[in-house]
Amino acid sequence: MAPLGLTDADALSDRLLFAIPKKGRLYDKCLNLLAGADIQFRRHARLDVCLVLNHPIALVFLPASDIPSFVGKGNVDLGITGHDVILEAEMEEHVTEVLRLNFGKCALQVQVPEHGPIKNVEELAGKRVVTSFEVLAGKYFKEIDERLGLTGEEGKEKTKIEYVGGSVEAACSLGLADGIVDLVESGDTMRAAGLHAIATLLDTEAVLIKSTRPKPNRPPALESLISLVTSRIAGVIAASKYVVCQYNVLRDNLPAASSLTPGRRAPTISPLEEAGWVAVSVMVEKKRIADIMDGLVKIGAQDIFTFTLDNCRV
Ligand SMILES: Nc1ncnc2c1ncn2[C@@H]1O[C@H](COP(=O)(O)OP(=O)(O)OP(=O)(O)O)[C@@H](O)[C@H]1O
Ligand SMILES: O=P(O)(O)OC[C@H]1O[C@H](OP(=O)(O)OP(=O)(O)O)[C@H](O)[C@@H]1O
């Protein structure tokens, strides 16, 4: 297929436009989701728009921070980005968060030097804060400034929020800031920079979004394509969250077994050739499986196996 340039508007007019972060933390996970949903494409080097081979969809690779406004303004139909980015772009009323995607999980926190004089956000208020999230940090400290009566008069300085595009954690040691507001996942970056958290502004994860005001005259077929893509991605996410657990247990112990593994709807129970025994097959949340297997052993279950799911519709 010939490479597609951004000017080839005709090639895009009947397609669902789906924005994907072009780099950064969310990029690889998004590619896994697209593969799991069987959305096939070949991206030509340096081109940020590409046609999907097996659906009337065009993928648009954009900076994660630009995706909320593209979707919110209706230029793009669907997108994946962080919940934090939507709030920072003040697009929460213009986009609908259709699905939480269970990756890109982190927290937006206020961090200060661990061995410095500042112990809480009230002590940081009125001083210098460096961040890539100047809208969210601005709103957060405005409320604190107002509460503390920091009006901007002499001796009552408001908090000064300064924007930097990256490596925010370096700002305190470089003497640019008394504290920072930045994303934290494992905490490794902040620990290495000698910082620690004194407050959390919000918890975030990647989300699938669609516009609350889609383009007028969008063909109905594209509406059903949004539902199809959403349902496929939901299946991939569910498959990553659950395992199938199968075990044998005495029929008399089924009530205890069922309360440990109730399943999403109900466990599947099949008789075994050996009298008094049944086989149980059930979906279990991956993060709970070790505890549940311990519990099953305690009630006398045997031959306990788990299977990972490649994909599902639930
Ligand atoms: N450490 C992290 N752990 C999990 N998710 C994160 C982390 N850092 C960022 N994210 C999520 O990914 C989104 C994009 O962040 P990222 O740092 O990848 O931005 P970028 O500017 O697109 O990439 P880059 O930092 O490479 O320029 C964030 O808004 C957040 O939702
Ligand atoms: O708590 P951790 O697991 O250490 O993750 C936190 C780091 O991840 C993000 O930056 P990223 O690495 O994406 O680079 P950036 O500083 O260029 O944004 C964030 O800005 C932190 O620096």
Give the ligand at the shortest distance from the Cα of 182. 2
Ligand 2 centroid distance, CA of 285 (Å): 28
* Interface predicted TM-score (ipTM) of this complex, two decimals: 0.95
Ligand 2 centroid distance, CA of 187 (Å): 9
Give 106-121 pLDDT, tens digit per residue.
999 999 999 999 999 9
Give 197-238 pLDDT, tens digit per residue.
999 999 999 999 999 987 777 788 888 999 999 999 999 999
Return the residue matching tokens 């508007």.
9
CB of 25 within 6 A of ligand 1: the answer is: yes
Is the pLDDT reported for residue 6 higher than 90?
Answer: no
CA quadruple 249, 243, 282, 250: dihedral, nearest 10: 0
- DSSP, collapsed to helix, strand or coil, labels residue 207 as strand
Which secondary-structure segment (H or E) carries 176? none
Question: Which DSSP state fits 251?
Answer: G
Question: What is the distance of C-alpha 209 from the center of its chain?
Answer: 11
pTM for the structure as a whole: 0.90
Nearest CA to ligand 1 atom 20: 24
Ligand 2 centroid distance, CA of 200 (Å): 16
What is the pLDDT averaged over residues 275-297? 97
The CB-based long-range contact list for 35-38 (8 Å cut-off, 24+ gap) reads 36/232, 36/233, 36/235, 36/236, 36/239, 36/310, 36/311, 37/229, 37/232, 37/233, 37/235, 37/236, 38/232
Tell me the one-letter amino acid at 301: A
Q: Residue 283 — φ and ψ, nearest 5°?
A: -85, 135
Which residues line ligand 2 at a C-beta cut-off of 6 Å? 24-25, 166-167, 169, 182-189
Q: Which of 108, 136, 184, 196 to mutate to test the pocket of ligand 2 (most atoms within 8 A of CB)?
A: 184
